[in-house]
Structure 1
Amino acid sequence: MDKIEILTRLSSSKQILSPFAFLPEVKKQGHTAALDIGVLKKSLEYISMVQNPDMIYSINLYKSTLCGECTHQSIRELLEFYKIRAGRIVFEILEDDAGSGCPSQLESTSPFRIFPIQRQQAIIHNKKPLIPDKVHDRRICPCKEMPHLILNESMQRFKDIYGMLFSVDDFPSGTNCMHNVYKMQGISYVKIDGIWLRNMLENFRIEFQESEWEEIFLREFHKILLEVRRIHPYVIFIVERVEDEDLFNLFSKIEEIQYFQGYFFSKTKDINDIEGEIAEHNIKGV
């Protein structure tokens, strides 16, 4: 286990809900900033107490939370208070976004409490990065423009002052399409959307013969990764939702992929239950 991604779950007396169940209402009510800041606070509090100095943690944030004036200040205050060593925190930039109010303005009216953090997934290391050549047309994704200058300036401040790392989540879906990733600066990781990959795989299985679909799929997927590397030469690729050995073996054939994440390696767990695994990781040096 090299990295841990921290996500949210809404817990009640009867069940634990995934974000698919509650995020639409959170967005509708304009409370994404309150959710982001609450999750970040709980995450940093946990990380500051666990004795695992080499573990890297990923935390999801909306673009509007990173760029908002008051939310930007809230993030800075939390980072300064918990004083986590530089390089241990990766902010994952989500693939969609919603307008968000300032958390301080929402505390008295928000019907949502701070959600307990109840998920982690292991990511294992595989291969070293390569520097690619130019292959792909940047017009692959004609999606809506976003304020890249503001986002890039905000990311650069966090990198310069606190040593934050940044990851693009669920590429190439939503606003994290190829067109927008071209304009982002200073990203360290690109996480490939597992649902998008599965759909792409299924389309190739249908369109091509059994003896050739895999080779064609790998070639075309490889071109996409090479094009990202042309703009971001040192970015690290992570494939999400690797749920079985067949998928792992398939994507292992692509040298540009360095990390994998999914149920094949670790299922979701309460964050309080993984301290033993982290301790074992540190003892064995895995």
Structure 2
Amino acid sequence: MNIDELNDIIILSKKLNLIYIVKDNTNKNNKLDYFKSFFNTVICVDDGYKALKEFENQSFSIVITDIEIKGISGFDLIECFKNIDENIISIIYTNNEDKESFLKTIDLEIDGYLLKPFIENEFFKILYRSIKKSIIKKENKKIKKDLKLLKQYNEVIDKSTIISKTDTKGRITFANDNFCKVSEYSRDELLGKNHRIVRHPDNPKELYTDLWNTVKNKKQEWTGILKNLTKSGKPYYVKTTIKPILDSKGKIIEYIGVRDDISSIMSDRKHLNDKIDSTDLSLLILIQIEEFDILDKFYNISTVDKIEKMFGYNILTYLPNNFIFEHIYNLGSGQFALLTNFFDFFDANINLNKYLEHFIKNVKSSVLLIDEIEYDLNIVVSYSFGKDHLFEDAKCGLLQAINKKELIKYANDSSIKEHIEAKKNMEIIKMVKIALDNYKIISYFQPIINNKTKEIEKYESLVRLVDETGSVLSPFSFLDVSKKGTYYNKITHRVLENSFKILEHISTKISINLSSLDIEKEQTRIKLFELLEEYKDDASRVVFELLEDEEVKDFEIIKKFIKKVKAMGVQIAIDDFGAGYSSFERLLDFEPDILKIDGSLIKNIASDEYSKNVVETIVSFAKKQNIQTIAEYVENEEIYNILYDLGVDYSQGYYFGKPENININNSII
């Protein structure tokens, strides 16, 4: 094998995910470390059925397996893999040299048969041949598929998309049927003309300066929203992509423009909900034509229907030009919805209230002409951002706006400072997204001390966010706001990964906070059980602290979860016990191993006899039930001594140590 082929293998292998099945996962000679340095991701299991489960959960490019493995044979396993993904690269790595196994390998079209002991050059030859074969196979399949679908794609695109071509001077050389239909111009009227023929004067000059600088000077693709005019003078909006076509020398020979008409309005509430569900975080604006019920009674059904449809068609023309919503929904009864990705609007750096004030003003100053009769309309709007209960929040906001005779209502918050709060919340959500994308959601760890030995026996995992300035923020700054979208779950999963990962580097127990919201989410429960399975040898060093929460929706789910994790060796602690709405009755359901006494009782224990008596009662009860106790907020020696005398088992607080990151291999977990 020459050096070029070897370099190709090294480069290509770094893109591959390997699932490696061995007879004995504890065998130090199983080449696991070698494969980990060679491939992008390596999952190693010692059971065929576990391998199948892993294969269902994530994508693998290559499988290396012995013939004799736990569960099912390596041959049967590869056959199952190929039924799921016929392109997977398969290699047998075994001591078995019998003829029957070789024939079986050929019959199953397995890519390579590698005999032990491992010979690197032989492995490289098999891998190079297999990767090359896989690439060729994928390319051939893609070509066949592309040729078969190309005609169908062209037919669909031509019917649903506005397409045009222009020469280097900007003259239209091609316009498809849909362009003619939407613009109301014939093909003969368009050909040879500049696109100025459909240009709306509302588009700022800067937009076209940016467009031509991108496609002509930079020779790059440009995408944006343009406002156009039909031949009869009706405005319409198109989401436009213009791409310069280059010859072999990089010279522009023509431009192709592909546009989607976004002026049309979708109906049906289900479409709106589906779009909200498919987006991480959305901005929703609800619009209500004022006194529509009176309109409905005053005019006949046909006229009201025309008013509603005409208003909906004109919504985009009423919106300020600095941001156009791509999704409009007619919800009936004079109500409409505008929906966009939250970050698209946020990145436009627009004051939302001023934007909506401008929108309302445009509607108020306009007149709808229907059957030669003029109609004046006024609207009320509400807006909300998030994911869960987004429509319900905006709907409530709309009702409040109507009842209070307000024109604009922010539905997520009803306080007098709602607009300031809304902007602040938006900034926090953006900050959380950036932190998640850049792995800046980290964990700090605070020591928990055995009161008798003063030795560290546990660490509590506490979430932190590192912002773009490098500042470390506590959960108080971002966690509650994160619950408006999907980011809370993502934060939880990142913290869980950090917490379990630290088990490899410490010998003590790790305590992880879980709320009822966490446990009730099936996705989070699945993640937890996956981690417990992966770290099953360390499960006895894991403590789940159940946070106080009045909004428990399903106690049965939580009770079943507790029972299952305790069977795996995990301990259960109840956090903030003794204050708020915690009760001894809950202990019957949760059967905890540990009670964490609420900090409000501990920090005043030296001066408040009531706090001391409550703590003493909790400790006495806990000892009778064989439950350990931990005191939070242990800030000084005086508090520690009182707790020691009362018989509290553990202490946690600044007296013994602040939460800090644990630096591992020059990276923060």
What TM-score, normalized by structure 2, do the two folds share? 0.29
Question: Which residue is 2:572 aligned to?
Answer: 166
In structure 2, the residue matched to 1:151 is 558
Gaps of 5+ in 2: 1-455
Q: Which amino acid aligns with 1:3?
A: K
Alignment correspondent of 1:142: none
User: Per-residue deviation at 1:80?
Assistant: 1.8
Between the aligned partners of 2:484 and 2:464, the Cα distance in structure 1 is 18
**Distance across 2 between alignment mates of 1:220 and 1:8:** 30
Structure 1 residues 272 and 224, CA, compared in 2 at 3 Å: closer, same or farther? same
- CA deviations on 1:213-246 (whole Å, 9 max, x unpaired) are 4xx653443123334556xx01100000101111
Q: For residues 10-21 of structure 1, what are the structure 2 equivalents within 5 Å?
A: 10-12=465-467, 13-21=469-477
Taking a change above 3 Å as real, the CA distance of residues 42 and 97 of structure 1, as seen in their structure-2 partners, is farther
- Give secondary structure in 2 for the equivalent of 1:224: helix
- Give the whole-Å Cα distance in 2 for the aligned partners of 1:89 and 1:19: 22
- Which of 66, 86, 93 does residue 519 from structure 2 map onto? 66
Structure 2 counterparts to residues 16-165 of structure 1, below 5 A: 16-29=472-485, 31-48=487-504, 50=505, 52=506, 54-96=507-549, 147-160=554-567, 162-165=568-571
Task: Report SS of the residue matched to 1:4.
Answer: strand
Higher strand share: 2
Deviation at 1:266, TM superposition (A): 1.1
Q: Give runs of aligned pairs for residues 120-269 of structure 1, distance below 5 A.
A: 147-160=554-567, 162-174=568-580, 177-179=582-584, 181-198=586-603, 204=608, 213=609, 217-227=611-621, 233-255=625-647, 257-269=648-660
> How many residues get paired?
210
Deviation string 1:26-66 (CA, Å, 9 cap, x unpaired) is: 12335433222221012212323x1x4x4111111112322
Q: Secondary structure at the match of 1:187?
A: coil
Letter in 1 for 2:521: G
Q: C-alpha separation between the residues in 1 aligned to 2:497 and 2:615?
A: 37
When the two chains are superposed, the root-mean-square deviation of aligned CA atoms in Å is 2.8
Does residue 272 in structure 1 map to residue 663 in structure 2? yes
SS of 1:243's partner is: coil
Distance 1:199 1:248, change over 3 A: closer
Do the aligned partners of residues 268 and 61 (structure 1) sit closer, same or farther apart at CA in structure 2, a change above 3 Å counting? same
Larger Rg, first or second structure (1 or 2): 2
Is this contact kept in 2: 1:156–1:186, CA < 8 A? no
**CA–CA distance in structure 1, aligned partners of residues 586 and 534 of structure 2:** 31
C-alpha distance 97-25 of structure 1, shift in aligned 2 (>3 A): farther
Secondary structure, aligned partner of 1:71:
helix
Contact 2:605 2:612 in 1 (8 A): no
Q: What CA distance in whole angstroms lies between the structure 2 residues aligned with 1:196 and 1:217?
A: 5
Q: In 2 relative to 1, CA 173–221 (structure 1 residues): closer, same or farther, beyond 3 Å?
A: closer
Q: Distance in 2 between matches of 1:97 and 1:23?
A: 17
- 2:148 is matched with none
What SS does the aligned partner of 2:590 have?
A: coil
Return the offset for 1:146.
6.2
Contact 2:633 2:654 in 1 (8 A): yes
Distance 1:187 1:147 in 2: 18
Distance (whole Å) between structure 1 residues aligned to residue 513 and residue 615 of structure 2: 25
Aligned twin of 1:9: 464
Distance across 1 between alignment mates of 2:622 and 2:558: 19
Question: Where does residue 103 of structure 1 map in the other structure?
Answer: none
**Greater relative contact order (Cα 8 A, min sep 6): structure 1 or 2?**
1
Structure 1 runs not aligned, ≥5 long: 99-144, 205-212, 276-286
